[in-house]
Structure formats: C-alpha cells, structure tokens
Amino acid sequence: MFQELYQESLSRAEHKVWILSDLQQGLPENTRRCLEAGISDFELLKRPAEQIWYLGDAVEGGDPDRLIAMCELQEKAFASLNIPLCYATGNHDYDFSRAHRDRAPWMPFYEMVRNHPGWKTTASCEDFYFRTEIGKYPVYFLCDHISQANKWCVTHSRVAWGREDYPYSDASAQALRAKMAAETEPLITCGHYGFSGCNRDHDLMDHLLPLPPTERIHFYGHSHIGDWAWGKKDTWRRICWVDWHDVPQIDVSSFENIRGQHCRSVLLHIYADGNMGVFFRNHDLHCFTEAYFPAGENGPQGWNDMRFKYESPK
C-alpha cells in the first residue's frame, strides 16, 4: 500500500526532497556500511529528489584521521548522486572543538560542505541559520553555531560554553521570525532539533515561537528512532506537533542502524496546490513504512488563544 501511495504521489509531485540526518559514527567502517545501505536503496528508487537536506551529525568523535576519512566517504557518495545538498550542523559536528577549546574550531564535515560546489550551509560558522528555496517555497535551516575563536558554542539547542560571550539575543531570534513572517509563500523549517513538543532538545529553538502563520512543517533529527537510551518514551515517535500550533514536526533520524533501529530517512513531495506528502523509508528493508499528508492549512491557533500567554524561555 505505501509503495503504491508513493508511486502515485511521485507522479503528482512538483518538487521532491530527500531528507536525512545522524549518520553519526565514530568509525569509518561503520560509516561506510550505513552509507552504502542508504545510498544503494536510494539508487533503487532511481534518485527521486531534486535536493538533499542533511540535518546534522554526519560524524562523531574527535580523532582527526577518522573524521577526515568519514567526510571523504560521504562527500564521494553524495556527490555521485549529482543532487544539490543543504546541510544544517548538529551537536556532533563540534566534538573536536569541544575537546580542544584552546584552538580555533574545526568542523571538517561543515567545512567540506561549505567548499563543495553547489552545496549549501551557513556562510560563517557563527551564523545560526541560512535560507534557500525549493521551487517557490522558502526553506529556513536552523543550525548550531560556534565562535570563530571558539569562545562560545551552541549545541543541543543551548549555549554549550561561553554564554558570557554569546552575541545573539531574543531580539536576534525575533528579527529572524519577522523575516520568516514576511515570506509570502508557505515556508518550511529544518534543523537538527525540533521546537517545543519535539522528542528532545528545543530550548533555543523556542525563541522563534510563535511561528508565523505561513509555517507549514518542520523537519528535524537528533532523536534516533529506536534508540532507547536517549529517546525513552519518545523512542518510536516520528510525528509530533509544535506545542500550541497546528504545525507538524517530522523526526527523520537516523541514517544509521547501530544506535538507531534501522537506516532511515524521509522523502518529501510538494504538489502543485501546495499540499505535501511525507514518506518514511527503511533503507535496510527497502520499503516505505509510513506515509503522512499534512493538513492544508496550519496556523498558530494556540498562540492566538487568550487563555495562553507565551513567555520567552530564560
């Protein structure tokens, strides 16, 4: 049934995106194995995407040789698909910088993406978002970020170190929210983390709330499906909603089957009328496991309810 739904959706889709996150291995041999499982299955589907959105944690650990090897494996694999890739950093991109606070930051996967022709990420490691488009639809990638001097860093949706030097404030978040609200087409947000109501960390993400009425859907990683140690009660939850909003959040993780249960990802279809289809893919078993079609109109109803008053997170 899911395969039939997918094929019908594929024939109707105006735009198609492959969304993944959290390959996140410390050993190149594990990276190679999981990467081959995901890429080979994507090839079986005949590369059905015009963009790839990679939502963080491509690598893990602080060993320079292993990090470089894992970056090279992934660059070669994703470049072979000839599909533009957008990357939002996640907490494990900063493992080396966390361990070497006395040095300038080094995030080899982020730097590889930034230097790869046609691929996108933030222009500076200090930027906390970047904007792109899929057709006419704006897409905002919300990213972890770090000082160029390693004086401060944001991971796990909070200031991990250097709070006294952190340059952004609530005003910075509200300026971004105003920019998002000024978009005339329905918008999509992505990042390593979700908003309030998601499976795991969301503190700094919540400074963007309430989301503008044009927000349609949010995609995130970080909470590996099938990972009991971190997921706990939300271990199997793929779909949730932003608190007090009729805006769905989709957990796309993880692109590995060691910490998570299977190598997973999501395929997004956008139709001519602006509606969407979300297809959850199990790459180990070569099958779609779920399909979801978000409501056509999603607004921040709860935020406009006079019974509820939003207070900015401390």
Mean predicted lDDT score pLDDT of the chain: 93
The model's pLDDT over 166-187, given as tens digits with 9 standing for 90+, comes to 999 999 999 999 999 999 999 9
- With a cut of 50, say whether residue 116 has pLDDT above it: yes
Can you give the pLDDT at residue 306? 31
Can you give the pLDDT at residue 260? 87
Q: Using a CB cutoff of 8 Å and minimum separation of 24, what contacts does 63-67 make?
A: 63/26, 64/96, 64/108, 66/26, 66/27, 66/28, 67/96, 67/108, 67/109
Can you give the pLDDT at residue 113? 98
Query: What mean pLDDT is predicted for residues 134-154?
Result: 97
- With a cut of 90, say whether residue 121 has pLDDT above it: yes
Q: What order do you get walking across the sheet with 187-191 strand by strand? A: 129-134, 137-142, 187-191, 215-220, 248-251, 239-241
Can you give the pLDDT at residue 297? 64
Check residues 106 and 229 and name the one with the higher pLDDT. 106
CA distance 253 to 263: 8
278 and 293 in contact (C-beta within 8 Å)?
yes
- With a cut of 50, say whether residue 311 has pLDDT above it: no
Can you give the pLDDT at residue 295? 76
The model's pLDDT over 208-243, given as tens digits with 9 standing for 90+, comes to 999 998 899 999 999 999 999 888 999 999 999 999
CA distance 143 to 189: 11
Query: What mean pLDDT is predicted for residues 21-48?
Result: 96
Query: What mean pLDDT is predicted for residues 48-59?
Result: 98
Q: Does the global pTM surpass 0.85? A: yes
The model's pLDDT over 145-166, given as tens digits with 9 standing for 90+, comes to 999 999 999 999 999 999 999 9
The model's pLDDT over 78-92, given as tens digits with 9 standing for 90+, comes to 999 999 999 999 999
Can you give the pLDDT at residue 304? 45
- With a cut of 60, say whether residue 134 has pLDDT above it: yes
CA distance 198 to 257: 22
Q: Using a CB cutoff of 8 Å and minimum separation of 24, what contacts does 39-48 make?
A: 39/77, 39/78, 39/80, 39/81, 40/283, 41/263, 41/281, 41/283, 41/286, 42/18, 42/81, 42/265, 42/283, 44/286, 45/267, 47/81, 47/83, 48/10, 48/16, 48/18, 48/267
Question: How confident is residue 312, by pLDDT bands cut at 50, 70 and 90?
Answer: very low
Q: Which amino acid is it at 40? A: S
The model's pLDDT over 238-285, given as tens digits with 9 standing for 90+, comes to 999 999 999 999 999 999 999 988 999 999 999 998 999 999 999 999
- With a cut of 90, say whether residue 34 has pLDDT above it: yes
CA distance 121 to 143: 9
Can you give the pLDDT at residue 302? 44
